[in-house]
């Protein structure tokens, strides 16, 4: 198969997601133990509910049954990415300015590879965070291409 399964699924699900006025956050196809899972994560400005997940699952399931691009039996899961949703692209970073994020980098920056703080700016090439260290705030700038993983981070202010 020349195309990756996630690419095929993206082509199938994108028109459905757009028609439903939802956002496609991520797609993953993984083997866990003996089972394969195809996971589709969706969101919207107001969040998603179980009915929207069910509708998308049903519609995508029909398309997958027609095309049959996956050679193994699998479980299809459609859900929200949750409160700590991944930041996968520039648009996600732009939408997350002012929010608390967690970032892991490919290589150390100022001796660290993990950062958590308020995303204060994103210019397309650099991400700037305000990180609280005890009682002071430190500004850290991270080159976008050095980010291995990023997600929203839930913070508990007491």
Nearest to residue 25, comparing CAs of 80, 74, 76?
80
Q: Which long-range contacts (CB under 8 A, 24 or more apart) does 51-56 make?
A: 52/20, 52/22, 53/78, 53/79, 53/80, 54/78, 55/20, 56/13, 56/16, 56/17, 56/20, 56/22
**Residue closest to 36 by CA, chosen among 77, 81, 82:** 77
Residue 42 exposure: Cα atoms within 13 Å on the Cβ side = 29
Strands 136-143 and 126-133: what pairing? antiparallel
pTM of the model: 0.74
Strand partners, 28: 39
A 10 A CB-CB count for 64 gives: 19
Instruction: Report whether 16 contacts 56 (CB < 8 A).
Output: yes
Domains of the chain: 5-79 (3.30.300.70), 90-152 (2.30.30.180)
- 85 has pLDDT over 60: yes
Question: Is the confidence at residue 29, as pLDDT, over 60?
Answer: yes
pLDDT score at 45: 85
Q: What percent of the chain has pLDDT over 70?
A: 97
Q: With a cut of 50, say whether residue 1 has pLDDT above it.
A: no
């Amino acid at each position: 198969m020349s195309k990756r399964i996630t690419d095929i699924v993206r082509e199938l699900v994108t028109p459905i997601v757009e028609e439903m006025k939802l956002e496609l956050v991520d797609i993953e196809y993984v083997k866990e133990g003996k089972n394969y899972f195809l996971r589709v994560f969706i969101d919207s400005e107001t969040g998603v509910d179980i009915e929207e997940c069910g509708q998308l699952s049903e519609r995508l399931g029909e398309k997958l049954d027609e095309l049959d691009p996956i050679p193994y039996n699998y479980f299809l899961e459609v859900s929200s990415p949750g409160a700590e949703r991944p930041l996968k692209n520039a648009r996600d970073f732009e939408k997350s300015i002012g929010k608390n994020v967690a970032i892991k980098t490919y290589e150390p920056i100022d001796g660290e590879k993990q950062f958590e703080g308020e995303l204060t700016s994103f210019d397309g090439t650099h991400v700037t965070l305000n990180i609280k260290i005890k009682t002071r705030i430190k500004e850290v700038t991270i080159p976008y291409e050095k980010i291995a993983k990023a997600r929203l981070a839930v913070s508990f202010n007491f």
